[in-house]
A and B are shown apart, each in its own frame.
Chain A
Amino acid sequence: MAAIEILDLEKNYLVGFWRKRPKLALRPLRLTIEEGEVFGFLGPNGAGKTTTLKLLMGLVFPTGGTARILGKEMDDPRVKSEIGFLPEQPYFYDHLSARELLNYYGQLSGVPAKERSARVEQMLARVGLSESAGVQLRKFSKGMLQRVGLAQAILHDPKLVFLDEPMSGLDPMGRREVRDLIQQLRHEGKTVFFSTHILSDAEALCDRVGIIHQGELRGVGAVAELTSGTQGKIEIIFCAQRVPVGLTALGAESRISGDMVNAVLLEEQQDAALEVLRRERLKLISLMPVRSSLEEYYIQKLRPTEGQKEEGENEADRKGVGA
């Protein structure tokens, strides 16, 4: 069963003084996320990631379309007890301690009273906050608040967890801990849908990613596939203080750093390049195929499509005529 089925979900806001001018936040979005999957929703700031999450959480209402979460309509109240949500840059009740906050959320999520205390302590330990459990949240750092946010999202043992920019504002150690936590959730069989603009996190954690830009889903793909392919190029590293002329003649893009040269050239030029190195009596350090990276896929998907280019050009023409 699909954990999330997004069926042409769409959102326009009405802006301006009279609230008559529509502003597009999300174009009709169609996306399916399978159970047990870790899905990364990637895009630059303002791309529509948070809007999508808010729509799924029922915090804003769609202009069109719908979604099914764990087999139920997204506005079905029963869905909420099976999902967890961490908003971007979470902010909680200042006057509560971490323990009191988790207890409150446990009450609201319907965690039975008998289990609640034990569950709260377990979550505090899991996110490394046992020692600060009694401290009021107004004294917490941003990183500590993020941990509380993660704890509240998984407190009631949800099947599906939505995380909006979970690594935002965290130091490298904090990011590592969040990564570990997401890995643990994967091993527990949970479905994780998280938004981020940090590609290395997505590459390390996700089974699949979706790229969204300007409110439009530009592409969806399995990370393993996107990063397994070679680009038909090889990278040769060898000891030298200058680039051999023969290599430049083969069309290699070279970079010298210290006593080493790093050259990238087409796969079919491999034998010829090695021949150049042998002839020049240069020491080969390594030879590797150049792998595709998520970054390249991301940048490729963020480029304007042909239709958008035309649209942009037409817009520029209109402005030119107007001027």
Chain B
Amino acid sequence: MNSRIGYIAFNTFREAVRDRVLYNLIAFALLLSGAAILVGEISIDIERLVVVNLGLTAVSLFGVVIAIFIGIGLVSKEIDKRTLYTVLSRPVRRWEFVVGKFFGLTGTLVVNTLFMALGVFLALLYVAHRFEKIDAWVLVALYFIVLQFLIVCALALFFSSFSTPLMSAVFTFALFVIGSLAEDLRGFARITQGVGGWLAMAIAYLVPNFSALNVINQVAHGDAVPGRLILYNSVYALLYSAMAISGAVLIFQRRNLK
């Protein structure tokens, strides 16, 4: 990695940590430990299913909210506060700044996810008293959640490169919701005729397919995740993020910083 991108990424990570972004972990830990104790009390035989479902869904939602709310401010905050002026008056190219910011935020989310994953496994241990072989699939589900974060970060950056923070948050969250229903949208497109069908198909393939990246229910039931899906999802998330970041760079390269 270009060293300037690394410095910008590290600074972004440091900013997020010092802005107490990781404090959400406390809320997460409280939620999960409370849920684990409650589930331990009331569930019979399905403790594992409930804890995995609840834990991974919470990881996903907490992460997406953080990704959106930091992502939309990454560039606009630097323009508003004019911190960007002293960065771009150095030998830093605009694309390096955008990419560095992206890596900084994804780094923050990965660290965040690691802590939350630890919480999920501890809750699992509390209710099930031991780990089983099938628990390894929870790691795959967590990996897919991180891939979701990559795409959300990239989209938040893309929208914030030309829009206000509020509109960027709305657009990104809307895409996250639509993308989570992408499989349903594709199914709808297949059974719809004419222009409506074409339109639904176009939207279904244009929005990020978050539903393919969601295997929470599957792993909660202890089902295996095919290796091919891991490969496809990895390539898909990387390509989609790269496209969104490229779009952000293209817009930001031409932007006047007033």
Output the nearest chain B residue to A57 by Cβ-Cβ distance: B89
Contact present for B92 and A108 (CB under 8 Å):
yes
Q: Smallest distance from the beta carbon of B246 to chain A beta carbons, Å?
A: 20
B210 to chain A, nearest CB (A): 32
| A105 and B254 contact, CB distance less than 8 A | no
Q: Which of A78, A96, A105 contacts B86 (CB 8 A)?
A: A105
CB–CB B257/A60 < 8 A: yes
> Are B91 and A93 interface neighbours, CB within 8 A?
no
Contact A95 B14 (CB under 8 A): yes
Q: Given A59-B257, A87-B82, do A104 and B11 touch, yes or no (CB 8 Å)?
A: yes
Indicate whether A85 reaches chain B with its CB closer than 8 angstroms: yes
The yes or no answer to B133 lying at the interface (CB within 8 A) is: no
Contact residues in A for B87 (Cβ distance below 8 Å): 108
Complex: A95 Cα to B104 Cα, angstroms = 15
**Interface pair A87/B91, CB less than 8 Å apart:** no
List residues of chain B with CB within 8 A of the CB of A105.
86, 90
Chain B 2-14 near chain A by CB (<8 Å), digits 1 or 0: 0110011001001
Say yes or no: is B18 at the interface (Cβ < 8 Å to chain A).
yes
- Which residues in chain B, 76-91, are within 8 Å of chain A measured between CB atoms? 81-91
B68 to chain A, nearest CB (A): 21
Residues A57 and B88 in contact in the complex (CB < 8 Å), given A87-B82, A91-B81, A91-B83: yes
Q: A92-B83, A95-B19 are in contact. Are A80 and B256 (CB under 8 A)?
A: no
Find chain B residues with CB under 8 A from A54 CB.
85, 257
A65 to B212, CA, bound (A): 51
Q: Does B221 contact A (CB under 8 A)?
A: no
- Establish whether residues B86 and A92, one from each chain, have CB atoms under 8 Å apart when the complex forms: yes
Please, which residues of chain B bring their CB within 8 A of the CB of A83?
89
- Residues of B close to A87: CB separation below 8 A: 82, 85-86, 89
Over the window 230-258 of chain B, the binary record of Cβ atoms lying under 8 Å from chain A Cβ atoms (1 yes, 0 no) is: 00000000000000000000000010111
- Set of chain B residues within 8 Å of A13, measured between Cβ atoms: 256, 258
On whether A80 and B15 interact (CB within 8 A), knowing A87-B82, A91-B81, the answer reads: no
Categorize the interface residue count of chain A: 20 to 34
Asked if B190 lies at the interface with its beta carbon under 8 angstroms from chain A, I say no
CB distance from B103 to the nearest CB of A (A): 15
Contacts of A89 in B (CB 8 A): 82
- In B54-107, the 8 Å CB interface with A consists of 81-93
Contacts of B11 in A (CB 8 A): 93, 96, 104
Q: Which of B8, B18, B90, B258 contacts A80 (CB under 8 A)?
A: B90
For the complex, is A140 an interface residue (Cβ under 8 Å from B)? no
User: Taking the nearest CB of chain A, how far is it from the CB of B87, in angstroms?
Assistant: 6
| Contact yes or no, B83 A109, CB < 8 A | no
The interface bits of chain A over 79-104 (1 if a CB of B lies within 8 angstroms of the residue's CB, else 0) are 01101110101111101100000001
Please tell me if the beta carbons of B91 and A59 are within 8 angstroms of each other in the complex: no
Q: Whose C-beta in chain B lies nearest to the C-beta of A100? A: B14
A89 and B18 alpha carbons, distance in the complex (Å): 24
The residue from A60, A80, A96, A107 contacting B89, defined by CB atoms under 8 A apart = A80
Smallest Cβ-Cβ distance to A152: which chain B residue: B86
A152 contacts across to B, CB distance below 8 A: 86
Instruction: Check if B89 sits within 8 Å of A93, measured CB to CB.
Output: no
Q: What chain B residues lie within 8 Å of A61 (beta carbons)?
A: 254, 256
A58 at the interface (CB under 8 A from B): yes
- For residue A307, CB closer than 8 A to chain B, the reply is no
Cβ-defined partner of A93 (8 Å) among B15, B85, B92, B254: B15
Residues 266-290 of A contacting B (Cβ, < 8 Å): none
Does A77 have its Cβ within 8 Å of any Cβ on chain B? Answer: yes
Query: Which residues of A lie under 8 Å from residue B18 when comparing CB positions?
Result: 95
Q: What is the chain B residue whose CB lies nearest that of A155?
A: B90
Nearest-neighbour CB distance to chain B for A9, whole angstroms, equals 14
Contact status A59-B86, CB under 8 Å:
no
Which chain B residue has the least Cβ–Cβ distance from A58?
A: B88
Q: Which of A120-149 contact B (CB under 8 A)?
A: 149
Mind listing 7 A-B residue pairs with CB under 8 Å?
A77-B91, A90-B85, A91-B81, A107-B4, A108-B87, A110-B91, A162-B89
What residues make up the interface of B, taking CB atoms closer than 8 Å to A? Answer: 3-4, 7-8, 11, 14-15, 18-19, 81-93, 254, 256-258
8 further interface pairs, Cβ-Cβ under 8 Å (given A54-B257, A91-B81, A108-B4): A54-B85, A81-B91, A87-B82, A92-B83, A108-B8, A108-B91, A109-B91, A156-B90
Q: Which 7 A-B pairs have the closest CB atoms?
A: A95-B18, A85-B89, A60-B256, A80-B91, A87-B85, A107-B7, A59-B257
Task: Please report A residues at the B interface, Cβ cutoff 8 Å.
Answer: 13, 54, 57-61, 77-78, 80-81, 83-85, 87, 89-93, 95-96, 104-105, 107-110, 149, 152, 156, 162
